[in-house]
Structure 1
Amino acid sequence: MEKATGSPSPRPLGAPHRSAVRPAASPDQHSDSPPEHKERPSKSPRRRREGKRSQRRGVGHEQLLLEMERRRLPGQQEHAEASGSPCDAAESSPRRRAHFLHGPYPATHFGPKACILPNPTSVMHIQDPASQRLTWNKPPVNVLVIRKVRDESLVEPFKQLCSFLVEEKQMMVYVERRVADDASLSKDEAFGSIRNQLCTFREGYDDISDCIDLIICLGGDGTLLYASSLFQGSVPPVMAFHLGSLGFLTPFKFESYKSEVAKVFEGNAAITLRSRLKVKVVKDMLQSAEPPPPQQEHNGLLPHGHTNSEAGKVTLQLQVLNEVVVDRGPSSYLSNVDLYLDGRLITSVQGDGLIVSTPTGSTAYAAAAGASMIHPNVPAIMVTPICPHSLSFRPIVVPAGVELMITLSPDARNAAWVSFDGRRRQEIRHGDCIKITTSCYPVPSICCHDLVYDWFESLAQCLHWNVRKRQARLADISDSSDTES
């Protein structure tokens, strides 16, 4: 018995395996075959010779590749994989894609107690977004209330909601310390007993991501964006009341808050999974003042300096709900950044900047820049230029599973600036890069009716989508003939 670990004996490069190609049968052998083989029409001698040649060529090519792989030095394999040339790609075994183009499967557990109600009627384990319903593994206890600050008109709704949650529902209510220390609340003696039972926290100091069961927002769209920024991992269900100016993401009316909140506590509420972007900012420690020389390879792949390990670099990772905006900042020059998709250069953007947004963010800054509006349940990433210095640069939609990377072009005249949902604005210099892909932690937004009706209702009410004066119908032929007579 031969050992499985033993190296195969060397053979000529063109010699096939003995078991791979069987010798052609002679005519005498065909005559001795069973009767059922006699009835089958045999191939002509010419076709048999051509079949043997093609089979030998295929086996010989396979043996050639195996022999070249065996003779390659240990250090040449890593160099061939890093070079990315077509010849080396043909010699090496094909690599599997490390991600799915439709994006990562979203997490179905939101916070410690909420999850999506399983749907047994889904086909091929792909659940219909319209059938996504919220359920509770355990009754919710801890509720986070986010209130729009510096708005005195929201003080009374805030007090009514907190009193309802604490006294009638026996919930533990969490609020920000600056909200609890508001002068208008501290002076209200009737609200004093409720205020003393509120749990407070400070952003950036206290971690409440593991104890919140439900989030209730009072205000506009900014309150939901702020609530998303507080949870960089799994996000509890979010219920948003429209008490702001626009309210595209806030479908609930506060007049019926008691009945609406009670329905959510009972479960089976419709939800929309709003995908987020996982953004990673890699800053170069050197921060050289001079731009690096152009190192772009002929096949569009990244230079080798960008494919190295990120050791020795400062990284910042964020979850973004709306968009990542790269612009020219205070400079008077055009911004010049390179856009990569899965490590391959797609284009260089020269203009005021670039917007990379989620479907939720497609109705925000991207819509103002001329992008299409995408429903939140469509797995995609929108790439929109800001005032590009080109007549043919249209916004594009790419699959949610790709990884985008933005770097400063080697010949850029100035640095760029980046912001995340309008916050944490910082400068991007030569050697820095921004990596963007779809996060597996979406924001489960509770729907007032359903995810289709709420979205089109927001388009009509907030953005006045397709609003125009109706055209009158043409008069009937009988009416026109009577008028002429």
Structure 2
Amino acid sequence: MRSMIAINTTVEAAMPQRRTRSLNAPSPFQQFGPCGRIMKNSAVVMQIQDPASQRLTWYKPPLTVLVIKKVSDASVLTPFVQLVLWLLQEKNMVVWVESAVLDDALLNEDVQFRAIRDKLVTFKDGRDDLTDRIDFIVCLGGDGTLLYASLLFQQSVPPVMAFHLGSLGFLTPFRFDNFQEQLTSVLEGHAALTLRSRLRCVMHRRSEKRHEVNHAVDANAPMFPLADTILVLNEVVIDRGPSPYLSNIDLFLDGKYITSVQGDGLIVSSPTGSTAYAVAAGASMIHPSVPAIMVTPICPHSLSFRPIVVPAGVELKISVSPESRNTSWVSFDGRNRQELFHGDSLRVTTSIYPVPSICAQDQISDWFASLADGLHWNVRKRQKCLDELSDLTASGSEDTFDEIENTKMYDV
């Protein structure tokens, strides 16, 4: 990557509203009573940086920018042209776009776009490798544009700045009204980051022949390469597919059998994905800075099977139970749907390559704003306060509770 990025841990004096406490939990006291202590272990020492101090810095000015726009949406065309013109003319940056963008009939009717069309660098999804070619990503649209950016970069991801021009906009905190000022500030290195962890999913096939059969069965799958390893930002979903029978899925954690899922399926999601499919299935919402993996059953045939949260460092193994009447189907962030046969397994753990999502304000403000705006979290009419004095006066009586109860008893 031409323009190296890092997380700036220094506290700038000019930063408003400096946090005085870390988002991480305090280190636990390691002495328990007069005699008990935690045994020292020098094998593994891990230091976790305070997520609130994660800020973007550039080792050198970014030169190349990838612009991802929402497809088949005419309302995004004008902002897209404005953004690309500004990046080319004002910032002298090399702008990359998907090759399909140049084939957009409505976009080619725009006079300004036709003038800059030949200056754009294009790529084809699933064919061209963008690793180390892109310094910066700008998304125009909804949450799907950020998921698409995550899919394009299966290793290190450039910083992503997402503008809300779609429907939900849970992962797109920026508004396009003053995009020039906001982009200039980010390009100068004034931005907070949310490191959105991704899940590393590895398919282990019992037979290569079955893998070839799967390509023929899933004819409606999008044209993306089916790799053995894929990184997802939201979730990996294992379901019963077209079968009328319950799915029967065995779940292992670090090699130990945990339980069998009998129901419609299972969702394994990152903290970012906890507010997607998982929350619709009854899971809790987890802040993206919390290191965790969410495991959520889909319509389990058990009243006691609740969603669980496990540490981010564990490895989950998912396989079709030998007693299952049918196979299962797997999809990764809603794409690359493929069949999971008996004897196959899927291993899921946290990837070392997160998505560095640029904050409009900060990690806390952005997340709660998206909960309120996108999901209308805890929205209800305010309860009116109870004026006890006026209530007693309006009753016109000074009878005590016991007297009222006695009256009711005699009336009966």
With the length of structure 1 as denominator, give the TM-score of the two structures.
0.70
**Residue from 378, 385, 393 that aligns with 1:473:** 385
Is the partner of 2:228 in helix, strand or coil?
strand
1:246 equivalenced with 2:246 (yes/no): no
CA distance in 1 between partners of 2:107 and 2:167 (Å): 23
Question: What amino acid sits opposite 1:243 in the alignment?
Answer: L
**Residue from 114, 122, 127 that aligns with 1:192:** 114
1:374 equivalenced with 2:296 (yes/no): no
Q: 2:8 maps to what in 1?
A: 117
Contact 2:76 2:165 in 1 (8 A): yes
Question: What amino acid sits opposite 2:135 in the alignment?
Answer: D
CA distance in 2 between partners of 1:376 and 1:337 (Å): 27
1:278 equivalenced with 2:169 (yes/no): no
**Residue from 46, 53, 62 that aligns with 1:131:** 53
Residue 286 of structure 1: how far off its partner (Å): 6.6
Tell me the alpha carbon deviations over residues 367-386 of structure 1, each in whole angstroms, 9 at most, x when there is no partner. 00000000000000000000
Tell me the alpha carbon deviations over residues 288-333 of structure 1, each in whole angstroms, 9 at most, x when there is no partner. 9xxxxxxxxxxxxxxxxxxxxxxxxx97100000000000000100
Contact 1:142 1:212 in 2 (8 A): yes
Q: 1:231 maps to what in 2?
A: 153
**In structure 2, do the counterparts of structure 1 residues 286 and 266 end up closer, same or farther at CA, with 3 Å as the change threshold?**
closer
CA distance in 1 between partners of 2:389 and 2:352 (Å): 61
**In structure 2, do the counterparts of structure 1 residues 414 and 474 end up closer, same or farther at CA, with 3 Å as the change threshold?**
same
Q: How many residues are matched?
A: 351
Q: 1:216 maps to what in 2?
A: 138
Is the partner of 2:267 in helix, strand or coil?
strand
CA distance in 2 between partners of 1:206 and 1:112 (Å): 20
Query: What is the 5 A alignment of 1:297-308?
Result: none
CA distance in 2 between partners of 1:266 and 1:112 (Å): 13
Question: What amino acid sits opposite 1:274 in the alignment?
Answer: R
1:147 equivalenced with 2:66 (yes/no): no
Tell me the alpha carbon deviations over residues 126-169 of structure 1, each in whole angstroms, 9 at most, x when there is no partner. 32111110000000110000001111111111000000100011
1:352 equivalenced with 2:274 (yes/no): no
CA distance in 2 between partners of 1:213 and 1:226 (Å): 17
CA distance in 1 between partners of 2:376 and 2:109 (Å): 41
CA distance in 2 between partners of 1:438 and 1:168 (Å): 39
Larger-gyration structure (1/2): 1
Question: What amino acid sits opposite 2:93 in the alignment?
Answer: M
1:328 equivalenced with 2:228 (yes/no): no
CA distance in 2 between partners of 1:451 and 1:194 (Å): 36
1:385 equivalenced with 2:297 (yes/no): yes
Residue 434 of structure 1: how far off its partner (Å): 0.1
Contact 1:277 1:321 in 2 (8 A): yes
Q: 1:165 maps to what in 2?
A: 87
Query: What is the 5 A alignment of 1:307-456?
Result: 316-456=228-368
**Structure 2 unaligned spans of 5+:** 12-19, 28-45, 211-225, 398-412
Tell me the alpha carbon deviations over residues 24-45 of structure 1, each in whole angstroms, 9 at most, x when there is no partner. xxxxxxxxxxxxxxxxxxxxxx
Q: Percent identity?
A: 64
Is the partner of 1:205 in helix, strand or coil?
coil
Contact 1:112 1:210 in 2 (8 A): no
1:457 equivalenced with 2:369 (yes/no): yes
Tell me the alpha carbon deviations over residues 21-78 of structure 1, each in whole angstroms, 9 at most, x when there is no partner. xxxxxxxxxxxxxxxxxxxxxxxxxxxxxxxxxxxxxxxxxxxxxxxxxxxxxxxxxx
Contact 1:287 1:429 in 2 (8 A): no
CA distance in 1 between partners of 2:351 and 2:2 (Å): 16
Question: What amino acid sits opposite 1:402 in the alignment?
Answer: V
Q: 2:220 maps to what in 1?
A: none
Residue 477 of structure 1: how far off its partner (Å): 1.9
Residue 484 of structure 1: how far off its partner (Å): 3.5
Q: 1:264 maps to what in 2?
A: 186
Contact 1:277 1:437 in 2 (8 A): yes
**Structure 1 unaligned spans of 5+:** 1-109, 289-313
Is the partner of 1:254 in helix, strand or coil?
coil
Tell me the alpha carbon deviations over residues 226-269 of structure 1, each in whole angstroms, 9 at most, x when there is no partner. 00000000000000000000000000001111111011001030
Is the partner of 1:333 in helix, strand or coil?
coil
Contact 2:2 2:63 in 1 (8 A): no
Tell me the alpha carbon deviations over residues 362-418 of structure 1, each in whole angstroms, 9 at most, x when there is no partner. 000000000000000000000000000111100000000000000110011001000
Residues 176-185 or 246-255, more deviating: 176-185
